[in-house]
Amino acid sequence: MMAFWWPLLVLAFAYAICRFLLMLIPSNVPSIDVDASDVLDDGNQTRENSFIYVPSRRQGDKVQCYEPATMKYLGYYPALKPDEVKERVVLASKAQKTWAQSSFKQRRQFLRILLKYIIEHQDLICEISSRDTGKTMVDASLGEIMTTCEKITWLLSEGEKWLKPEYRSCGRSMIHKTAKVEFHPLGVIGAIVSWNYPFHNIFNPMLAAVFSGNSIVIKVSEHASWSGCFYVRIIQAALAAVGAPENLVEVITGFAETGEALVSSVDKIIFVGSPGVGRMIMRNAADTLIPVTLELGGKDAFIVCEDVDVPHVAQIAVRGALQSSGQNCAGAERFYVHKDVYPAFVAEVVKIVKSITAGPPLLGKYDMGAICMQEHSEKLQSLVNDALDKGAEIAGRGSVGNIAEGAVDQYFPPTVIINVNHTMKLMQEEAFGPIMPIMKFSSDEEAVELANDSKYGLGCAVFSGSQHRAKVIASQIHTGVAAVNDFASTYMCQSLPFGGVKESGFGRFAGIEGLRACCLVKSVVEDRWWPFIKTKIPKPIQVNRSSPFESFILLFNIDIHRSLSGKCSILFQRMASSFRSLLWKLCMA
C-alpha cells in the first residue's frame, strides 16, 4: 500500500488552506441550512435502498443512480422531456431579468455564503462525490473542494474588476471621443457537464454565470445525477439567503434528448464531454447561432528530461496519471522520458504503482477508487490488449482489494506499460483510466514532435532541471495549457483560462476570459466633452457633392455649442482649425 502519510499530508494541507480561507470570511456572513438527511449513509438503509444494482437497459423516463464502488442503489431522478426543459429555461429567463439588476455587493455575499458552507461541510461534499463517482476522499478534496474554493476567492477578489467597463484607445481621428467595452449578461447560460467531478463541474460554470448577472440551467450527467441534485440545494439556499429570485440556477436530469432541448433553448452553451458529443452540440447550436464553449478532454503529454530528480518526478507522474482513478480530463496520459533516465524512471514508477491498491474508497484503506462508468473497464482492457499485441509490455500493476461477492466489478488496477509507440490506440485515444504508457525520447526536438503527434491539445507538463529548457519545450507544444516542472497547476490558478485546441475543443472557462465569455461584449463610443463638442455632418457630405479630400477634412468640423461666449467660440474654432491642419500633416507623413 502507498505510504500512509501521503494522503494524510494532502488532507492536512487542504484542511489548513480551508481554515485559512474561513478566517477571511467576514463575520456577518450568514450560515445556510441544507437538508442532507436523504443523502447520508447511516449504515441502516432499508432493504429497498441497499440492494446491489445490476444495470439493465436504459429506462427512458428515469435516471437510475448507484454507487460505482459498491453497486449499491441510490435512487432515481426523472429524465426530463424537451417541453419540461424549455419550461425550466423560461423560468430561469424570468429570474435572470431581475438578477441582472443586482449589485456586485449582493453577488459577493452570495459567494461568501457558498464559501463558508463549503469549508464547514467539506467532508459531506467529498463523501457524496465519492459515493456517486467512486473516487477517494483525497481525490475529492483536491478536485472538488480546493479548486472550487480557489475560483470563489478569485471572483471575490477580482471578479467585479474584470466586468466593469474597460476603456480603450480611441485613435487619432476620434480624439474627441471616448471608447470603451462593456460587459452585459447574455441571459440564460446552459451547461452540460461531465460526471468525473460532479461538485466542481456544477459550481464552475454556475459561479461565472451568476456573478456576471446570468441565470444558468445545468444538465448533469446521468452518471452523477444523485450528487448533482444535492449540490444544487446548496446553491439555491445561498441564493435565497441574499434575496435572489427563484429559478435562477436549475439542475436538470436526463439523457441525450434532455441535453438537445437545452441547447436549443438557451443563450449560450458550455459543454464538457467527448469530441463526438461536442460535434452534435455544435450542430444543434448552429440552428440558433448561440455561442459555444467546448472542453472535450485530452491526451496530455508528460515529458521528463534527463536532468530531473527522478524519485521526485515519479511521485508527481503517478499522481498525474492516477488522480481520480485516471478519470481526469487534464490527466497525464502519455509519458515521454529521456532515454538516459528511462530505466530509472520506469523502475521508480513501477515500485510506486505496485504498492497501490484499488477498492471501495469510503473504507479508508485503499489508495485508489472505482471506475465510474459501466463497462469502461472493458474499454481500458481493450486498449491494453491492443498495445500488447503490437509489442508493448506490462512493467507493473497495482492490485484490487477484496470486492463483495456478487458485486459488479467496477475496478481497474493501475498499470504501467512500456515499449509503447504511436501505432497503438493507447497512445492516440483518450483512455480516461489508471494506465501509464511510458515511451523513450532522445532529444528535445523529438519530445516536442511526439507530444504534438496527437489529435488532442488540452495540456502538457514538462520537467527539467533547467527551468529555461522546460519553458522552451512547453512553448512548442500545441496545447491550451502547460505546466513547467509541475502537473495541472494551471487549473489551480483560477485567474487563468482553461481550454484546449484541436479535438480538445475551443473557448475557455475560468479566468478573465471565461468570466467574460458569459457576457455580451459591447463596444461603446461617446463624446468626450458633450455637449460642448459634438459631431456635425456638414452639408457637402449630406448631399454627397464633395471631393474625397474635402470630405476627409470636413469630417473633423467641430460644432461649438451656441451657449458659449463669442470669444470662447472663436478660440475653439481656431483650436479646431489647428487640429485639422495638424491631423492632415500627420496623415500625409
Question: Any idea which residues carry the catalytic annotation?
Answer: 295
Bridge partners, residue 462, by sequence:
303, 484
d(CA 533, CA 556): 11
d(CA 264, CA 404): 44
d(CA 158, CA 147): 16
d(CA 217, CA 239): 15
Name every residue whose Cβ is closer than 8 Å to that of residue 261 and which is 6 or more positions away in sequence: 80, 81, 82, 83, 85, 86
DSSP code for 321: H
d(CA 421, CA 300): 15
Instruction: Establish whether the linkage from the previous residue to 185 is cis, with ω within 30° of 0.
Output: no
The 3-state DSSP composition of the chain as helix, strand, coil percent (nearest 5) reads: 45, 20, 35
Cell digits of residue 557: 468640423
d(CA 349, CA 313): 9
Bridge partners, residue 337, by sequence:
304, 440
Distances (CA, A) of 387 to 186, 297, 426, 447, 456: 47, 21, 7, 20, 19
d(CA 61, CA 327): 28
DSSP code for 30: P
d(CA 191, CA 266): 9
d(CA 147, CA 141): 9
State the virtual CA torsion across 254, 260, 264, 268 in degrees, nearest 10: 80
Distances (CA, A) of 197 to 2, 201, 307, 378: 23, 6, 35, 22
Q: Contact 237/34 with Cβ under 8 angstroms?
A: yes
d(CA 435, CA 416): 6
Residue with cell 480557489: 150
Type and span of the H or E element at 545: none
Name every residue whose Cβ is closer than 8 Å to that of residue 330 and which is 6 or more positions away in sequence: 298, 300, 458, 459, 481, 488, 491
d(CA 575, CA 557): 11
Type and span of the H or E element at 345: helix 342-354
Q: Contact 247/241 with Cβ under 8 angstroms?
A: no
Q: What is the distance in angstroms between the CA of the first residue and the CA of the last residue of the chain?
A: 76
DSSP code for 333: E
d(CA 509, CA 517): 8
